Amino acid sequence: MKELYGYIDRHAQEYIALLQKCCRQPSISAQNVGIREMAALLVEELSRLGTLPDVVETGGNPIIYAELPGKNAGRTISFYNHYDVQPVEPVEEWVSDPFGAEIRDGKLWARGATDNKGSLLSRLLAVKAYQEVYGQVPLNVKFIYEGEEEIGSPHLGEFADRFPQRLKTDGFAWEGGSRQVGGPLEICLGVKGLLYIELRCKTASGDLHSSNAAIVKNPAWRLVQALATMKDAQDNITIDGFMDAVREPSAYEMECLETLRFREDATKERMGLDGFINDLTGIPLLKKLYYMPTANIAGFKAGYIGQGAKTVEPGSAVVKMDLRLVPDQTPEDILPKVRAHLDRRGFADIEVVKLSGEPPFRADPECLFAKTVIKCAKPVYGIDPEVFVSSSGTTAMYQFCHRANLDAVMFGAGNEAANIHAPNENIILDDFVSAIKMAATVMEEFAKA
């Protein structure tokens, strides 16, 4: 691979320029901004590889599919990535334009730089570099680029149902991943699930003079009271039946935690924390982070929060909640439990609206693809990778992998301080180049394995 690594190094500026171009194209699925333009850009790049991309129309944003035949016709690798990004708000907290893709301090700063354009392009460019150095790719390659990952992949399942052949593969390189700055690559074999809901409460036709608070129910108080029944002060989730399906981690899963180099102090400093919840540290902290569900309040909207005093009683209030789920919880099971929990406590007036749902997924850590990816990290990064049985986050692995009985492994170009979903998202340019080498190495080794 020396020859290929040298080639990638010599072409790094060209690769970075393409990343910059893609990051300058907004593609915000939640706001329907720039999606078609971004898809067109990727179709162009995939065409350059000699593929005939198929832009699959769904009920929402298109899914781009392409494939390339390889030297080893009996082995296939698939790259699943997404070309949509999160909204940029609050825009005033960005140091530079979220779609300016400014380069400073060895990083490229842009919404989508890490999540997910950096990892997407690292794989596409690995194929390109491999073709330019060796001709044909070493194994069959499939590309699946989704445009709705950041809004919960509502049409990925539909794609999987329509095109079972396109799902067939020997290994799914899933979305992306990250590494500690200058540290080991993080390889991840699973994800938490996610149930995203809104709790809505309306008590009057509109906002009222706050003197009416004496006789009119306040919807914000209703929500606060309802929320207070869903979690206790020790951070235990107290929604009736919520924890029933949560299994204790296996011995292997606990063993994996022992190998992680989670830097508590650096993480606290980066996040601006005095400590973690319940002052957790060590293995209990990691167990909670990777193997336990969450019930997060993502946003709360009610009444007046402008400058100065306004004596108003809101007529309605909304809370957004994301609940991260772990095996064997499912959104289908949890949603009615939330409803029943509220009903039982006299909150039938609070509407529960599901915005998206995704079950958790874990690949088999013993599968050939996982073992191959794990083996490839050291030659590229010079250090053994960390292996995570489950990410603390979520992607739509279940929709593809569970139904087609596939194994998927996540690894990519991000870093622990990449600020994904937050202001000042970035990617370390050296990591981007390393990720291209990593994807190329995985193709080479998996073709032979």
Q: Nearer to Zn ion by C-beta: 283 or 422?
A: 422
Cα torsion 434, 437, 443, 444: sign: negative
If the CB atoms of residues 82 and 341 are measured against Zn ion, the closer one turns out to be: 82
Give the residues across from 63 on adjacent strands.
Answer: 56
DSSP secondary structure string for all residues of 369-397: HHHHHHHHHHHHHSSPPEEESS-SS--TH
Residues in the interface with Zn ion (CB under 5 A) total 1
- Identify whether the C-beta of residue 265 lies closer than 8 Å to the C-beta of residue 296: no
State the nearest-atom distance from the C-beta of 175 to Zn ion, in Å: 8
Question: Which one, 115 or 170, has the nearer CB to Zn ion?
Answer: 115
State which residue, 149 or 407, has the beta carbon closest to Zn ion.
Answer: 149
Work out how close the CB of 86 gets to Zn ion at its nearest, in angstroms, rounded to a whole number: 6
Q: Note whether 386 binds Zn ion by CB under 5 A.
A: no
Q: Residue 115 or residue 431: which is nearer to Zn ion going by CB? A: 115
Q: How far is the CB of 107 from Zn ion (least distance, A)?
A: 18
Beta-bridge mates of residue 358:
194
Q: Helix, strand or coil for residue 156?
A: helix
Q: Give the Cα separation of 133 and 436 in Å (integer).
A: 14
Residue range at the interface with Zn ion (CB under 5 A); choices 107-115, 223-231, 249-257, 376-384: 107-115
Minimum distance from residue 82 beta carbon to Zn ion (Å): 8
Between 87 and 157, CB nearer to Zn ion: 87
144 with 79: CB under 8 angstroms? yes
- Minimal CB distance residue for Zn ion: 115
Query: What contacts 24+ positions apart, CB below 8 Å, involve 383-387?
Result: 383/183, 383/184, 383/185, 384/184, 385/184, 385/185, 385/186, 385/187, 385/411, 386/184, 386/185, 386/186, 386/187, 386/259, 386/260, 386/261, 387/187, 387/188, 387/189, 387/256, 387/259
CA distance 11 to 4: 11
Identify residues 157-216 at the interface with Zn ion (CB under 5 A): none
Nearer to Zn ion, 118 or 184 (CB): 118
> Residue 300 is inside which H or E element, if any?
strand 296-302
CB hemisphere CA count around 67 (13 angstroms)? 15
Tokens of 96: 């530079």
If the CB atoms of residues 151 and 406 are measured against Zn ion, the closer one turns out to be 151
CB of 111 to Zn ion, least distance (A): 10
Binding region for Zn ion (CB under 5 A) out of 114-122, 286-294, 340-348, 356-364: 114-122
Site string for Zn ion, 65-104 (x = CB under 5 A): ----------------------------------------
Q: How far apart are CA 234 and CA 228, in angstroms?
A: 12
Paired tokens of 370: 């996982």
Q: Segment near Zn ion (CB under 5 A), from 115-123, 333-341, 373-381, 396-404? A: 115-123
Minimum Å gap between C-beta 71 and Zn ion is 34
Task: Choose which of 84, 115, 386, 407 interacts with Zn ion (CB under 5 A).
Answer: 115
Q: State the nearest-atom distance from the C-beta of 112 to Zn ion, in Å.
A: 9
- Which residues are at the interface with Zn ion (CB under 5 A)? 115
